Amino acid sequence: MLGHVKHVDTLPGICARLTSLETLSIAGCDTMQELPTLSLMTSLTLLALCECPLIKLLPCVKSLTAMQQLSLGYLINFTCLPCLGGMSMLQHMSLYNLGCLVELPSSISILTNLRLLTLDRCDGITDLPSMCKMWSLEVLRICYCYALQNLPPRMDALTALRTYGTDISGES
C-alpha cells in the first residue's frame, strides 16, 4: 500500500518482478505519472488506484489472470482502460470520478465472472459496450454519468442481475 506520498513520480522497476504480490493499492500520489509494468504480477488479486491526478492510463493488464477486484477513482486525467480480456477471474470493478474516460473497452463483455460493476461520475462515457456475456453480473450501478446516452443492448441476457440502479440525471 502506498498512500499520500507527495513526491514519488514512479515506482521502482523491481515492482514489476513482485510476482507473489497479491494487493497493490496506491492513493494520493500527486506526482506519480505512470505505473510500472504489471504483466509479471500474476498473483495480483486486487488493484486499487485513487487520487493520482497525473496518471492517464493503466499499463497492460490482460496477463493478470488472478485479478478479482479492480478499483479506479478520482483520476482526473485518466483517459483509457486497456484490454481486460485476460482478467477472467475479475469479480468486482468500480470506476468512479473518471471524468476523462470516454469509453469502456469492448473486452469488458467477456468478463463472465464479474459480479459487481459500478460506474460513478464517469462523465465522458456516452455508450456502454455489450454486456450480454456477463452471466454472473449481479449488481450494476450507474450513477451521475451525465453523458451516457444508451444502455447496452441485450440487457435481458443478464439473468443473474439482482440490483440495477441508474442515476444519470443527478437526482436521487
Q: What is the DSSP letter of 170?
A: S
What is the model's pLDDT at position 76?
92
According to CATH, the topology of domain 1-172 is 3.80.10
96 and 116 in contact (C-beta within 8 Å)? no
The alpha carbon dihedral of 23, 28, 31, 33 has a sign of positive
pLDDT digits (tens, 9 = 90+) for 88-131: 999 999 999 998 999 999 999 889 999 999 999 999 999 999 99
Of 9-23, 115-129, 143-157, the least confident: 9-23
CA distance 39 to 61: 6
Cell triple for residue 63? Answer: 496477463
Q: Span 161-171, mean pLDDT?
A: 61
How many degrees, rounded to 5, is the angle at CA 142 between CA 133 and CA 54? 100
pLDDT above 70 (res 164): no
Domain ranges of the chain: 1-172
What is the model's pLDDT at position 170?
46
145, amino acid identity: C
Q: What are phi and psi of 14, to 5 degrees?
A: -65, -25
pLDDT above 50 (res 135): yes
82, amino acid identity: P
Cell triple for residue 165? Answer: 440502479
pLDDT above 90 (res 69): yes
Of the two residues 9 and 76, the one the predictor is more confident about is 76
Q: What are phi and psi of 110, to 5 degrees?
A: -100, 15
Q: What are phi and psi of 116, to 5 degrees?
A: -135, 130
The alpha carbon dihedral of 12, 15, 16, 17 has a sign of positive
pLDDT digits (tens, 9 = 90+) for 25-62: 888 888 888 887 888 888 999 999 999 888 898 888 88
CA distance 38 to 28: 20
pLDDT above 50 (res 65): yes
